[in-house]
Structure 1
């Protein structure tokens, strides 16, 4: 196992009252990301909350083909490396394909599996083999019990540094809700449980009324 990942995983598990994964949803520019990292670290340091800086190099699951996706793998990872060096912060970012995992694992401390891909075995195994912490978002279409199977795929690949993330549940066609019982059920995976506050209650691709 990757020793720094094990140390970070244990630190996050022991965090009180919680740890925070935070940052711009997608990398808009190097300047913007560095500015956000500086300000978020200042706030969390003052409050004594452990921070993992989050931003995506690519949002491959945007609803519209016209939506901004990010700078891409190579440029995005360079920017995240600069965040780590400048602010001494661990970073988390998404992967969407198995072929991205090795490169991402050389930079990211936590690899995040998007909700729509939470059952994709090849992607989960490729991410697990990096030795990094894996944060699996629960699919909006999944019962929390499904996450036990996703976690098992990571562990069977030899990686026990796994977290699961509540990301809301589809309520009808265009609403997400949070069922608070999910947090208790997700704990049955014997993993730290993350709450995606910004995405768990929303109208995905919905129009304002």
Structure 2
């Protein structure tokens, strides 16, 4: 019931990639097929095949409802696993010189620093949890990566999502908060609890 009420109030849905913890059968079923879906051109055809009729395809940058929307690149792991995870992207939403950067499912690497340099975001939203398969390196940010984001962007507020969202996340909220606290970043790096909401004004 609560979910249905929330879905009635949203203006659009931004889809970074098609992995089932981001875009699943329930999303396809529950979302109004006319709601604006913001996505990269790489996945637009797939979403259209699922019956959605109002797809806003972002190749690089566009204007929508007085908001400038840009896609950003990501690296969903390293080596062979990173290649198999496929193409992922993030988004930058900018209005009136205020900016939110959603990094998406990515580890920290040089491109993240370049995106921060280019867009100078007030808010950065990262996927934490250090999700890892039985072999290979983490495919999303570790606590160490999150600290790097905070250090690189000292004027930004960093929001950590994805924690405990999938079974192969090896760092939970308790661990990540401890790392944030030990690095003195508790005022600028924030983790919401399940069901908790916040408004980012920009």
**TM-score (ref. length: structure 1):** 0.44
